[in-house]
A and B are shown apart, each in its own frame.
Chain A
Amino acid sequence: MKKHLFVLALCLFAASILPGCAFSASSGQESGASADAGYSPFESPTDGDAEPDGSGVDLDLTVLSSTMAYSEVYNMMANPQDYKGKTIKVNGWYYASYNDETGESYHFVIVADAAACCQQGIEFVWNGPADYPENLSQIEITGVFSSYESGGYTYYYLAADSVALLD
């Protein structure tokens, strides 16, 4: 019985220290990082070819609750390849930052979880008729999830078709 117990304890311990079940402190996830989710988020009704409203949107995050929207954006950042080329509609806070080294401004839509302590930013590029909105404005973006290379890294962004200010 003693041997039996030790074997069980050993199994528990060995299983536990294998990779995985680690904490998903998602806010630090970088664009382009690849996780082993191994599933396609487009197995759901958000599947691209048959949009129920005919809007051309593959993934509408605006109809999801904050908890769901944040989780889905986390998955987008963790597995960007699964989302590439899809038209995505998302709302959140607008945030712009300027990089002194490149001399360019970068624009993000920030999606927060329910407690607003975890946030994910999706970079977007807009060549629309109007200027970018003011920082921390609430915006809604529709665009195609795309990628570009810079400094040896792959970055993912939304090529925005429309950017609307929300009240």
Chain B
Amino acid sequence: MTELFYKLALYLEYPFVRYAMIVGVLIALCSSLLGVTLVLKRFSFIGDGLSHVAFGAMAVATVLKLSDNMLLILPVTVACAVLLLRTGQKAKIKGDAAVAMISVGALAVGYLLMNVFATSANITGDVCSTLFGSTSILTLTQTEVFLCIGMSVLVIGVFILMYNRIFAITFDEEFAAATGTRTRLYNLLLAVIIAVIIVLAMNLVGSLLISALVIFPALSAMRVFKGFRPVILCSGAVSVVSAALGILVSILAGTPVGSTIVALDILVFGAFCLAERIIGGLQK
């Protein structure tokens, strides 16, 4: 045990581990805040779809040899987020079909482009790193860390400022529209925030595992709490603790960061399901 703590203390003295902890916790917090809204609006799978879009955009950016991939990834992901969130009511291709279509389409085209126009000798490594995060979170530069912190603070700030309106459009969008809330505008804002979080979270858990970061903390909190605010607070706490513990476990045990975090999220979800049953049993 002492050896474990010594090792942990040693690892925490590495700047890149401290950066990973800061960025990981902030991304986890952002994704869990929006996760509750997405789950309640039945958009759980949208994160997965958008992350695949981000993967496709990244492949195109790599092929085009853009010096900064974000110049392409973020606008494309935001555009798709807006499209997906707006196609809910009037589109010919309805919600889940649209998400599935864009998701697999972007994934396939991205992988195809990376193979046909290979810019690196290790395509498998590049794809693995992007899909599963690999050690991306442990290889961030200082500039990337500061930008991630800035964007996370903005996302959290927007969520706090718009809390009441997000609450309104989450539970009853039509009623909110009838009472004068500009639902389209707030949905657009929501789409931008979701896209930003997805792109940020690709560094932490990779594009295939982002959905877990969005939905598991929210679903865990919903097992025990019923109010919007308690669920949000609990979801945030669960997500932050899972991300921090996941990063620590992965560096100590030498496991992949993203999948370790998601595995912890699943464990917490199981524990909350158990707690729900116990609480339910006690109340009968």
Contacts and interface: CB of A to CB of B under 8 A. Distances in A.
A66 B253 CA distance: 8
Given A18-B147, A19-B143, A115-B132, 14 more contacts: A2-B185, A12-B192, A16-B74, A16-B199, A17-B75, A19-B67, A21-B200, A22-B144, A25-B62, A27-B121, A44-B10, A68-B11, A115-B128, A118-B135
Nearest to A18: B147
Given A17-B70, A22-B70, A25-B126, A67 B250 contact: yes
A22 B68 contact: yes
A117 interface: yes
Contacts of B84: none
A27 B122 contact: yes
B142 A27 contact: no
A78 interface: yes
A114 B250 contact: yes
18 contacts: A9-B189, A12-B154, A15-B150, A16-B74, A16-B199, A17-B70, A18-B147, A19-B68, A20-B146, A21-B70, A24-B136, A25-B126, A43-B15, A44-B10, A45-B10, A64-B11, A114-B254, A114-B255
B256 A67 contact: yes
B126 A28 contact: yes
Given A20-B144, A37-B141, A28 B121 contact: yes
Contacts of B143: 19-20, 36, 38
Interface residues of B, number: 69
Tell me if B's interface is mostly helix, strand, loop or mixed: helix
Interface size class of A (residues with CB under 8 A): 35 or more
Contacts of A74: 135, 138-139
Interface of A: 2, 5, 8-9, 11-13, 15-28, 35-41, 43-45, 64-68, 70-72, 74-75, 78, 113-115, 117-119
